[in-house]
Chain A
Amino acid sequence: MTSAGTKATSPVDPDEQRQQRLAVREGVFVGLATAAYGVSFGALSVAAGLDIWQTSFISIVMFSGGSQFALIGVLAAGGAAAGPAAIASAALLGVRNGIYGIRTAPIVGAGLWKRLAAGWITIDESTAVALAQPTPRTRRIGFWVTGLAVFIGWNITTLVGALIGDALGDIRAYGLDAAAAAAFVGLLWPRLKRMQAIAVAIAAMVVAATLTPVFMPGVPVLVAALVAVVVGVFNWWGAPAASGAASTHTRARS
């Protein structure tokens, strides 16, 4: 059950076969590494006041780590009253998955059900592994293996984390709140290659921290997102004729 929809091809040369094995291995490895911190999502979600069903529902349907942590982070701070801001934070952080989809659509190929399944598992990891492969076929294998490995692993560990979280009580004693912040650092780090991104990151941090005591939880993050829109529109600190097709798929992989 490696690559749904790969056609049996003509004689495959040994080099191609080796690359396919590498793509599978990389996908499984990234899947295991990513799944490991699903435990912290599960535990934090329960600590934020969600039950085990709600926690698992998020990991199955939303299935995007950054958005999931953003959602429960806002809910933990502001409760259900912060709902609209929590939804907006999760959705805005999920915009990047849509951008990935534009890139991965040609890799996946046509077919409604195949695209629906592919869309569901289009995340940082599956996109990064797919685009790192050398041939169309290995890209397809990398995409599906990574996406499915992360999906299965992430949902199992979410459940484990939710069950453990219920038993743990005060998750702060185990540093799980810091683990969530560290996970965001890991998602951000590979995106800080250019001056413009670094400037936006610093400005967004200052804006979010400054506004935290002023607005209800979730809103400071959304206001900070406006920094990106303003800087992006006017291209401050940007390269003059930079291609817009810059790498949107970077991610600290495993």
Chain B
Amino acid sequence: MTLWQIIIGASIAVLALKLAGYLVPPSVLQKPTPARIADLLTVALLAALIAVQTLGNGQALTVDARVPAVIVAAGLFAIKTPFIVVVIVAALVAAGVRALA
């Protein structure tokens, strides 16, 4: 696959899923199992992406400046710091650790 094919395919898939929601009758949300799986799917994907983005280096696992940055981010979210502030602080922590190393 070329990069463009991947980008277009993924973009259309995500857009189609958004539009599909408008075609689904609200009664679907009343069924507990599909709603529960959908909720947990998002949780699992986000958690898995955090692990990979924090520790992954291609196919290797590494512990580097991203780890303290993500720990600081989690702490700041726990005390309800605004989203954008946390993202910037996390970048600064990682940049700082790398500059010192």
Contacts and interface: CB of A to CB of B under 8 A. Distances in A.
A39 B44 CA distance: 26
Q: Top 6 closest A-B pairs, CB basis?
A: A101-B21, A175-B94, A244-B32, A182-B90, A244-B35, A178-B94
B84 to A, nearest CB: 5
Query: For chain A, what secondary structure do more than half of its interface residues adopt (helix, strand, loop), or is it mixed?
Result: helix
Given A200-B47, A204-B45, A233-B33, A102 B26 contact: yes
Nearest to A248: B39
A105 interface: yes
B100 interface: no
Interface residues of B, number: 81
Given A66-B49, A186-B77, A244-B33, 18 more contacts: A58-B7, A71-B7, A78-B58, A90-B10, A93-B49, A175-B69, A178-B93, A182-B90, A185-B73, A186-B87, A197-B43, A209-B61, A212-B51, A213-B61, A228-B45, A232-B40, A246-B36, A254-B84
B87 A244 contact: no
A47 to B, nearest CB: 13
Nearest to A192: B43
A98 B17 contact: yes
A175 B41 contact: no
Contact of B12 (A61, A99, A200, A216): A61
Interface of A: 33-34, 36-37, 40, 49-50, 54, 57-58, 61-64, 66-67, 69-71, 73, 75, 77-78, 80, 83-84, 86-87, 89-106, 108, 115-116, 118-120, 122-123, 172-189, 191-192, 196-197, 200-209, 212-213, 216-217, 220-221, 224-225, 227-229, 231-233, 235, 238, 242-246, 248, 252-254
Contact of B21 (A71, A105, A200): A105
Interface string B55-88: 1101111000110011001100110001110111
A164 B46 CA distance: 27
Interface of B: 1-15, 17-22, 24-26, 28-56, 58-61, 65-66, 69-70, 73-74, 77-78, 82-84, 86-96, 98-99
